Chains A and B, each alone.
Chain A
Amino acid sequence: MASLELKNIVKRYKSQTVLDNLSLTVADGETLVLFGPSGAGKTVLLRLVAGVIDPDEGKILIGGEDMTDVDAEFRGVGMAFQNFALFPHMTAFDNIATPLQARHSSQGTIKAGVESVAKLLKIGHVLSHKPRALSNGQKQRTALARALVGAPPLLLLDDPLRNVDAKLRFEMRLELPRLLADRGATVVYVTQDYKEAMALGDRIAVMSQGVVKQLGTPEQIYREPANIEIARLFGDPTINLLDVKPARDARGIYVGLSNVQVHLAGAPETAIGRDCIIGLRPEALHFVGENEPGAIPVTVEAETPLNEKIVTLVRTVRGREILVSRPAGTPGETEGKAHIAVDSKSALLFDHASGERIGSKNVVSLRNGEAA
């Protein structure tokens, strides 16, 4: 019904290529999150789908129908903008009503439609206000209501939580998945916040410099990032990255961390003898007793309690700093000498030169055109 298909999209601004031969498919009813740093081309991609800018090459299919040359008003999509893009001279009601007015719905239908979506988003009491008189949160909900009111089969959400305060963002992050699921619409959601991406996406497309670097479920992206860059972007605190050169002995493949041989279960053979970077998520590290196998001696430097976890900064005997995370309320070293061990199954190995993950067995990695 409203699947979305992008075929070999190219978009250039002057000499700069913003989208480079990009292809992507979103199934009907699926929520795809476009994740990436600013300038990756996420917003441009969304606008191409909406039809307000045109691709230089490639095709856009919505519900199987070629929409590449169809004007925005005939594509039947709903879109919410990062900066809300509310019409400043209209009340919230009129803002939300615009998609219904475009269909020449009757006054009664418009009123009922606007009020039901406003109720859903808890802005029923501010419908008579102009955007100027709305709080940021109300603006954001109004923008969302405008995108939802026409029940579009394809919904484009451009970082809608970017410009709202932390509390509201937290609430909406819980609220939005249910809201989107209820609608049954196909959703393309742009964000720069990995937690949002993980919470909302059926799948996540990680974009960088106009290409999709990795496409997969949130679990896949987190567990098997295609490269160091992606591993760094997902996870808080960020992943620890250490230079290693894997070797093999009788017990299998191991790496040397602070003169301790740490064996990695399931590490690929191809890594042996190569200059590598090992990626250790803070939660894949834990404090252990001195005599445990693979215990690495460290010095505790600082401890930061976050809400649901405690992050400890430790220093190895070689002077490298490492972050260790543990759930709040669990015991751990707080100062002085300590030992940590690696949960070897979740260790990630990356090629030092290219940054690509080695042995990406289950990772769906899309490379468009030439690899970046």
Chain B
Amino acid sequence: MQHTSLLERILRGIALTLVVIFFMFPIVWIFMMSFQTNETILRIPPQLVFEPTLANYTALITGKLTTAAGTLDIAFMRNLWNSVFLSVTSVAVALLLGVPAAYAFARHKFRGSEDIAFTLLSFRFAPALLVLLPLTLYFQKLGLANTYIGLIWVYQLICLPLILWIVRGYFEDIPADIEYAYRIAGHSWFATFRKIALPLAGPGIAAAGLLAFIFAWNNFVFALVLASADKQPVTVGALAFITSSGIQYGQISAAIVLSITPTLALALYAQRYLVEGLSLGAVKG
């Protein structure tokens, strides 16, 4: 296998270049668009060289777009805040609920534990609307419609199975003897959980949290169905942009860039754990 011919190396190089172009081009292009004025964007053929402007970002951040036609309010920062708040809170709740449960599933094989774990897993694979559509009706009755609490609860559909199954794996990786040793030394199960299990599974828990955050952030359908404008995250909010009149393509691009930057940054940070997270612990990176 060591003897790769020159031709093969060239072909491999070309193939990899094409792959990189295909997957990176849209991100690069949108990034470039976000620094362009509407004028340069609309020019044909598209411009590779242009004078960058921060106007799109300024408009988004100040929430005011001043054009010749007048001033337009953009609620994008609100969407961004909703995304941050919903994702952070959902992950926090999922960690609070999921980590103890994961510990119970990993350490105490009790009656029904596998059934519960698999039911939670099945949420990951069941059609979201199956649950969401009746929920809209329930939420209206319960007064949870268009509330953060309602949304955070539904976000557990994505966060909880992920946390549960990944963290469970990390707990299972801790040799039982280590925990036994701490118990025998005279410590309660709770002290053992806090002083031994949690610190040792810590990096895994953090990674699972980051992944859950990414998935929560990227979710679209929950908020589309259950939230109206003031509670919508960026995924839904940005889509509304394209249909609303008056907003320019540069601002949409800037909104996209701002919306995908957090997840891309976190993904880079947690990339070592990504494979394991994406496969719910079945494949180690």
Contacts and interface: CB of A to CB of B under 8 A. Distances in A.
Interface of A: 47, 50-52, 71-79, 81, 83, 85-89, 98-99, 102-103, 146, 150
Contact of A83 (B175, B183, B200): B175
A79 B181 contact: yes
Given A78-B184, A87-B181, 9 more contacts: A71-B183, A72-B180, A73-B186, A73-B187, A75-B184, A81-B180, A87-B182, A88-B178, A89-B200
Contacts of B185: 73, 98-99, 102, 146, 150
A74 B184 CA distance: 8
Given A51-B184, A78-B184, A103-B186, A85 B177 contact: yes
Contacts of A75: 184
A76 B187 CA distance: 11
Q: At the interface, is chain B mostly helix, strand, loop or mixed?
A: helix
Given A85-B175, A85-B178, A79 B196 contact: no
Contacts of A87: 178, 181-182, 196
B199 interface: yes
Contacts of A86: 178, 181
Contacts of A71: 183, 188-189
Contacts of B184: 50-52, 72-73, 75, 77-79
Interface in B130-187: 175-178, 180-187
Contacts, number: 65
Give the interface size bracket for B toward A.
Answer: 10 to 19
Nearest to B187: A102
A71 B180 CA distance: 11
A88 B200 contact: yes
A47 B180 contact: yes
Contacts of A78: 184
A303 to B, nearest CB: 44
Contacts of B186: 73-74, 76, 98-99, 102-103, 150
B269 to A, nearest CB: 22
B181 A73 contact: no
Contacts of B181: 79, 81, 85-87, 98, 146
B177 A98 contact: no
A81 B181 CA distance: 8
Nearest to B186: A102
A145 to B, nearest CB: 12
Contacts of B183: 51-52, 71-73
A132 to B, nearest CB: 13
Contacts of B199: 89
**Most chain A CB neighbours (cut-off 10 Å) among B181, B183, B187, B196:** B181
A79 B179 CA distance: 12
B199 to A, nearest CB: 5
B200 A52 contact: no
A331 B180 CA distance: 54
A347 to B, nearest CB: 44
Contacts of B182: 87, 98
Contacts of B200: 88-89
26 contacts: A50-B184, A52-B176, A52-B180, A52-B183, A52-B184, A71-B183, A71-B189, A72-B184, A73-B183, A73-B185, A73-B186, A74-B186, A77-B184, A81-B177, A83-B175, A85-B177, A85-B178, A85-B180, A86-B181, A87-B196, A89-B199, A102-B187, A102-B191, A103-B186, A146-B181, A150-B186
Contact of B187 (A77, A83, A98): A98
A81 B180 CA distance: 10
Contacts of A50: 180, 184
Interface string B48-70: 00000000000000000000000
Contacts of B175: 83, 85
B113 to A, nearest CB: 15
Contacts of B177: 81, 83, 85
A138 to B, nearest CB: 17
Nearest to A53: B180
A106 to B, nearest CB: 16
